[in-house]
Structure 1
Amino acid sequence: MKNVTWTVAFALMTLTLPAMAQDFRFTGTATTDDGGVIYQERHSVDGTCQDGVFRPRLHEVAYHKPDGNESFARKVLEYEASVLRPIVNFVQPTFDEAMEITYPEPETLAIKWRTPAGDSKQFQVEYPDNTVVDAGFDNLVRQNWQRVVAGESVDFRFLGPTRGEHYGFVIEPVTSNEVEADHVVQLRPTGMVLRFLVDPIVLGYNRNGALTDYYGLTNIRKNQDTNYTAHIRYSVDTYPDCELTP
């Protein structure tokens, strides 16, 4: 009888325990096609383990020049409401640029962008449930991990924040000369016009579901008019104590 009582008590106690806080740390090094280092990204993701799978809560990124101790740009992503559509706060002081993405109403997002030219632009954008914002694409890949590793495609909408619009995209398997990883996919626009204007982004993942490579257009400015296109190679500093993929 005592054993039964202790078993029931333990079960009730574990039901009331909160999800354990976890840390996920990784570093990315962005290089040009000839191997020159442009900058480094230092990622810190705080989250929880839910049903044995990591769920991000707060993601901070500090961007550093190769020889710089102080960051030249920063980004904060808050995933409280959705892992696909974080609140975004990005600043790039070198170009006096700042962007904020929030969600003032259900199914509506707001963009505030201070451009390098000194202009201030604002957008209100209605979106469907399959819309992805910023680094939410990484969580989309992991949410659909079994489909991705099986070579299936995943359709979604991707926010173009500087245009105040979202566009049709697809995650699909690809063979790449630039990226070598356990699993390689690309994010490709599906609209005919955008396919001619925007190059796909190629992503590499390891068997654990961690991003190893990003090859494509970045959010870091090369000059006032253009952003860097780079190959970013990631290394994990700290894994959470639960799986990254379901």
Structure 2
Amino acid sequence: MSPVQFIGSLFGCWELDTMRAVSKSREAGAASGYICVRSGRVKVCFLYGRRAQLDAGRRCIHLPGPAVGSAIPAGSKRMRIVWLLLCLPQMAWSAPMLRTEGVASLADGTPAYREVHWMQSTEEGAERWVQYLCPEGAPFARKRLPSSHVVQARGYQLQDRRSGQEASVRVDGPKVQVSWKESQSATPRSGELALPEGAVVDAGFDAAIRLHWQALMRGEVLRMPFLVPGRQRFFPVKVVHRGALRWKNIAAQSFEVGLDAWYGSVAPRLALTYADADRRLLEFRGISNLRDGQGRYPQVVVRFATAPEPRDEAQWRHAWAQPLVATCAVTEK
């Protein structure tokens, strides 16, 4: 921000980008103005700023701590500037992330891996990071899904040090750029595909079920092209609602996913269970998207026992900075 912009901020409002989106509805007040952080932007209204200039219906947090409270007294113009310089970086970097964990098991109950999902919010399309951990806790793979308004078809980057698998999918308007490396010794393959209407990429499947929830509940069959990056093409798949059930005493709905083609009856299928209340994924049954130590794609059951919970961003930074391991210890059932 230039000196002119800063001086102007003392008499009105200015905005700037944070290096990372913080958390929706986090706000701090100054005696004669407000510092507001929302969806990756910071808006500051000092002195003659008015709360009405900010979005309505938002909570205040007391700086420098995170507890909800009243505005911060700032006795002078100088103190207001000090509060801005000291508190704004803390707001931008210390807001909580959301964390949830799934435990993957093989058909015989042997632990396969754990997947830890970190996200900025529960909104569809919010940026997300996934770590894949050995049963003993060491990370062997990671995936990043950048934020996107095209929630069914957004790109991602995957790195699996255990198998050497690497993937990069970038959605750019009507085109999809795909880069795929099957194993450590394999030659990377890249290509460009047209993005079909209603297409689904990777975790966009999860968003698609929630977006079409009411139609599925009415018994409609959801059909869509699904990207298989290793094949460099889209395959037709269909989602069918199989009925209500209780999952660990949680009211839930069951769905089945299969290929929408003549050979679909003999192709592998996925079984998905979603909670009624918040429509979050509770259980996945099907082929893993990660190869095991023998280079196979095993059948797994992944269970997400708890809803996303807030964690300090420092915990996410520490977890994401951990180096990936090339092997996992052998785990007995």
- Which of the five TM-score ranges fits, normalised by the shorter chain? 0.7 to 0.9
Aligned to 1:40: 114
1:170 and 2:238 correspond: yes
What is the correspondence of 1:125-140 to structure 2 with a 5 Å cutoff? 125-140=193-208
- CA deviation after TM superposition for structure 1 residue 103, in Å: 2.4
The answer to which structure, 1 or 2, has the higher relative contact order (CA under 8 A, 6+ apart) is 1
> What residue number does 2:255 align with?
185
Q: Deviations over 1:149-176 (max 9, x none)?
A: 3333211111111011101111101269
* Aligned match of 2:55: 14
Q: Quick one: which amino acid aligns to residue 202 of structure 1?
A: A
Distance 1:15 1:134 in 2: 35
Contact 1:85 1:136 in 2 (8 A): yes
Q: 1:225 to 1:176 in 2, by over 3 A?
A: farther
Match of 1:219 among 268, 289, 292: 289
**What CA distance in whole angstroms lies between the structure 1 residues aligned with 2:52 and 2:194?**
44
Q: Structure 2: how far apart are the matches of 1:189 and 1:23?
A: 36
Map 1:9-158 to 2 at 5 A. 13-14=54-55, 23-47=97-121, 54-68=123-137, 70-104=138-172, 106-116=173-183, 117-158=185-226
C-alpha contact 2:241 2:254 (8 A) present in aligned 1: yes
- Give, in whole Å, the separation in 2 of the partners of 1:39 and 1:72: 9
Please list every run of 5 or more consecutive structure 1 residues that lacks an aligned counterpart in the other structure. 1-8, 49-53, 241-246
**Other structure's SS at 2:263 match:** helix
Distance 1:150 1:194, change over 3 A: closer
Q: 1:143 is matched by which residue type in structure 2?
A: L
Q: CA deviation at 1:37?
A: 0.9
Number of positions where the alignment pairs a residue of Structure 1 with one of Structure 2: 220
**In structure 1, how many angstroms separate the alpha carbons of the residues matched to 2:97 and 2:253?**
24
TM superposition shift of 1:224: 5.3
**Distance between the aligned counterparts of 2:275 and 2:284, measured in 1?**
12
Post-superposition offset of 1:199: 1.0
Shift of 1:214: 0.2
- Offset, 1:195: 4.2
Q: Post-superposition shift, 1:223?
A: 4.2
Post-superposition offset of 1:15: 6.5
* Corresponding letter in the other structure for 2:182: T
Whether the 8 Å CA contact 1:149–1:183 is kept in 2: the answer is no
Percent identity, aligned pairs only, is 22
Q: Which moved more, 1:90-99 or 1:179-188?
A: 179-188
Q: Which amino acid aligns with 2:196?
A: P
Contact 2:163 2:292 in 1 (8 A): no
Amino acid aligned to 1:56 = G
SS in 1 for 2:208: helix
Runs of 4 or more consecutive aligned structure 1 residues displaced over 6 Å after TM superposition: 9-12
SS of the residue aligned with 1:26?
strand
SS where residue 306 of structure 2 aligns?
Answer: strand
When residues 163 and 46 of structure 1 are mapped into structure 2, their CA distance, relative to the original with a 3 A threshold, is same
CA distance in structure 2 between the aligned counterparts of 1:115 and 1:154, rounded to whole angstroms: 30
C-alpha offsets along residues 114-153 of structure 1, whole Å, 9 cap, x if unaligned?
2214211112111222000001100001111222333332
Q: What TM-score do the two structures reach when normalised by structure 1?
A: 0.79
* Alpha-carbon displacement from aligned partner over 1:15-56 (angstroms, at most 9, x marks no partner): 798xxx9854211111112211111010112237xxxxx233
C-alpha distance in 2 between matches for 1:238 and 1:140:
19
Whether the 8 Å CA contact 1:103–1:110 is kept in 2: the answer is: yes
What are structure 2's unaligned runs of at least 5 residues?
A: 1-49, 59-94, 311-333
Looking at structure 1, the residues matched to 57 and 104 of structure 2 have their Cα atoms a distance apart, in angstroms, of 44
What corresponds to 2:304 in structure 1? 234
